[in-house]
Amino acid sequence: MRPIEFKAMKTSICTYGFIPVRAQAAEQAEMVTQLLFGEVFTILQSEEKWSYITSHYDQYEGWIDSKLVEILPDTLVKKWEEADKWIVPGPYIKVISESDNSTLFIPGGSAIFFNCQDRNCFQIGHREYYLSGSHNIDKPNKNIDEISKAFMNSPYLWGGRSFYGIDCSGFVQVVFKIAGHQLPRDASQQIELGQNVSFVEEAQAGDLAFFDNAEGNITHVGLCLGKGQIIHASGRVRIDKLDHQGIFDDDHKTYSHKLRIIKRIIEEAKRKL
């Protein structure tokens, strides 16, 4: 629950591959989500070791370690936020810091504003970075099938949004972000979007399938691939069979999730395998 009587403070940019966002101001507290590199956030409250923040991308709130907050001029943050940015394709890229020639791995879904004179270079504060390797920054990948499969075998992690560890709704959100579409963070929010798909047989690549428990609560979401297949984060990012009952786990020869509904979120997401 959000603490009361907060006053908005400074904004900043995530300058790490990701920053864990926790439910409480403690290292052992539950991680509820992650900030990805290049995402902007507002500091709502600062304590000695912890800062309570809200992400500008999906309005998620929580506590982050204050040591991970980069102190940046408001004008720089505003310009970064308003600029057209390249969304890093999955699962990750490598960048080099000019100052000390160190390496930083930036996960898919991160946002980069190329604000230097050199084509593949960007700067945040006093740090200048350049891309390592060959990347097509002019033609971002919009194919949700390809984007989602790049995360195959990433381990499941509650609150995760990167290839290091990712949860079911974080996986869907990041895949759509790379493809150029913004979704809310949680499955219970994502289900409110789009149009119903009446039958599993009509599901197309890019549709979202939602699953519930015995109490009727939405507990899982996955990305339809068409032809009776679904890719989702459960133990790891994997592809399973999908039918009118739910997800069938071939490894254990049983249904792992009970289907509630399939939603068509965006027409552009429809792809053929």
Q: Which residues are catalytic?
A: 168, 220, 232
**Distance of alpha carbon 232 from alpha carbon 209, whole angstroms:** 10
Dihedral (C-alpha) 59, 60, 64, 68: value to the nearest 10 degrees?
A: -50
Considering only CA atoms, which of 181, 185, 155 is closest in space to residue 169? 185
Which DSSP letter does residue 205 get?
B
**CA 184, 23, 179: angle at the middle one, nearest 5?**
25
* Cis amide leading into 91 (omega within 30): yes
Q: CB–CB of 176/206 below 8 Å?
A: no
DSSP string, 222-257: EEEEETTEEEEEESEEEEEEE-SSEEEETTTTEEEE
